[in-house]
């Protein structure tokens, strides 16, 4: 896979730990304008993964965003429920809400906090999703801990009894598998990544994870406790600048920006994407 492709993804969910289900970006024209300006200036394409229970509340804003920037939508569960025993329910509710609004079924899914297991992938296959974007091929040490170091750090096919779904995993640096997402980049600083990339380069396909609240953590800091408060607040007032630097870096490295649906098509046309049995998941 020699072509370099970058997908900017935005998990459209309520702000971190906001119990009222608010998305500040959708209620503040300045935040919306700053985000859209960067996307337009650099001709980026954005794939928004929607928590579908928020569609009704923010239908006007979702519509406005679609008219302002190049954006397509996938699903980020129905209610951001993380408990895996509710996974299948979340999938079916999200499809109903998505179809109700867009008039067509969704093709891409990202599970909350990257939490997905064997049954979860099977449920996506059964519900005709074309691709999944839940896998972070890294290791996570907080309360949502997982280890996906045994999975490829590039697009692959998840297969299960003759059926398959394309996995488009989140970007990690080669070998050390450090996640390359807006939250992590803000926390560690882009300069550290630039140094590490000399030895552990980005993969040819970069799926960049982000959330609306990544751009204004300083406004919602009261919701966050402990070390995560510190982590999220780092570079909190410079988030838009960091985003623009990330985009510029990817452009300098020759990445072409695509929607996730375009990346999905590209991967399906490749002669031999790696194949992984669903049994490899917990
Ligand atoms: Zn989420």
Backbone φ and ψ for 6, nearest 5 degrees, come out as: -125, 135
CA 79 / ligand 1 centre spacing (Å): 10
Q: For residue 123, tell me if it sits in a domain.
A: yes
Compute the distance between CA of residue 119 and CA of residue 275 in angstroms, rounded to an integer: 18
Tell me, yes or no, whether 19 lies in a domain: yes
Q: Which residues of 117-145 are buried (b: 16+ CB within 10 A; e: fewer)?
A: bbebbbbbbebebbbbbbbbbbeeeeeee
Write down the pLDDT at residue 223. 75
Residue 277 lies in a domain: no
The answer to whether residue 257 is domain-embedded is yes
> How far is the centre of ligand 1, averaged over its atoms, from the C-alpha of 191 (Å)?
26
Model pLDDT, residue 165: 97
Q: How far does the centroid of ligand 1 lie from the alpha carbon of residue 2, in Å?
A: 31
Calculate how far, in angstroms, residue 113's C-alpha sits from the geometric centre of ligand 1. Answer: 5
Measured in angstroms, how far is the CA atom of residue 142 from the centroid of ligand 1?
Answer: 15
145 CA distance to ligand 1 centroid (A)?
15
- In the prediction, which pLDDT does 228 show? 79
Q: Ligand 1: distance of its center to the CA of 10 in Å?
A: 9
Q: What is the pLDDT along the chain (282 residues), one digit of tens a residue?
A: 579 999 999 999 999 888 888 999 999 999 999 999 999 999 999 999 999 999 999 999 999 999 999 999 999 999 999 999 999 999 999 999 999 999 999 999 999 999 999 999 999 999 999 999 999 999 887 777 778 999 999 999 999 999 999 999 999 999 999 999 999 999 999 999 999 999 999 999 999 999 999 999 887 777 777 877 877 777 778 999 999 999 999 999 999 999 999 999 999 999 888 999 999 887
Query: Measured in angstroms, how far is the CA atom of residue 134 from the centroid of ligand 1?
Result: 10
204 alpha carbon to ligand 1 midpoint, in Å? 25
Structural domain total, the chain: 1
For ligand 1, the distance from its centroid to the CA atom of residue 76, given in whole angstroms, is: 7
- Would you state the pLDDT for residue 16? 87
Domain range enclosing 82: 5-272
Residue 282 lies in a domain: no
Q: How far is the CA of 207 from the centre of ligand 1 (A)?
A: 15
Strand partners, 8: 46, 208
Buried residues in 164-179 as b, exposed as e (16+ CB within 10 A): bbbbbbbbbbeeebbb
Q: Strands 156-160 and 163-167, how do they pair?
A: antiparallel
Q: What is the pLDDT of residue 45?
A: 98
Residue 74, in any domain of the structure? yes
CA of 210 to the centre of ligand 1 (A): 9
Q: What CATH code is carried by the domain that includes residue 221?
A: 3.20.20.370
Buried b (16+ CB within 10 A) or exposed e, 246-270: bbebbeeeebebbbbbbbbebbeee
- Provide the pLDDT for residue 279: 92
Using a 10 angstrom Cβ sphere, with 0-12 exposed, 13-18 middle and 19 or more buried, the burial of residue 64 is middle
Query: What pLDDT does residue 79 have?
Result: 96
Burial environment of residue 50 by CB neighbours within 10 A (0 to 12, 13 to 18, 19 or more):
buried
Residue that has been written with the tokens 């985009």 in this structure: 247
CA of 176 to the centre of ligand 1 (A): 24
Q: Does 279 reside within a domain?
A: no
pLDDT for residue 229: 81
């Amino acid at each position: 896979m020699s072509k370099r492709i970058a997908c900017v993804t935005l998990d459209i969910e309520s702000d971190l730990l906001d119990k009222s289900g608010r998305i500040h970006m959708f209620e503040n024209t300045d935040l919306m304008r700053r985000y859209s300006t960067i996307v337009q200036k650099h001709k980026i394409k954005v794939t928004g993964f929607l928590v579908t229970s928020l569609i009704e509340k923010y239908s006007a804003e979702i519509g406005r965003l679609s008219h302002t920037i190049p954006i397509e939508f996938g699903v980020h569960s129905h209610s951001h429920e993380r408990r895996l025993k509710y996974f299948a329910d979340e999938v079916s509710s999200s499809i109903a809400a998505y179809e109700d609004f867009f008039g067509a079924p969704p093709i891409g899914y990202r599970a909350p906090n990257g939490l997905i297991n064997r049954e979860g992938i099977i449920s996506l296959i059964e519900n005709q999703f074309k691709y999944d974007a839940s896998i972070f091929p890294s290791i996570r040490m907080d309360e949502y801990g997982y280890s996906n170091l045994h999975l490829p750090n590039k697009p692959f096919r998840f297969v299960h009894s003759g059926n398959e779904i394309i996995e488009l995993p989140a970007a990690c640096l080669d070998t050390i598998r450090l996640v390359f997402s807006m939250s992590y980049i803000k926390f560690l600083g882009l300069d550290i990544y630039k140094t590490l990339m000399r030895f552990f380069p980005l993969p040819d396909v970069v799926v960049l994870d982000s959330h609306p609240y990544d751009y204004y953590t300083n406004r919602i800091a009261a919701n966050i406790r402990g070390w995560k408060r510190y982590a999220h607040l780092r570079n909190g007032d410079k988030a838009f600048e960091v985003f623009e630097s990330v985009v510029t870096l990817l452009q300098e490295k020759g990445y072409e920006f695509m929607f996730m649906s375009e990346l999905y098509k590209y991967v399906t046309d490749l002669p031999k994407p790696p194949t992984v049995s669903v049994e490899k998941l917990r």
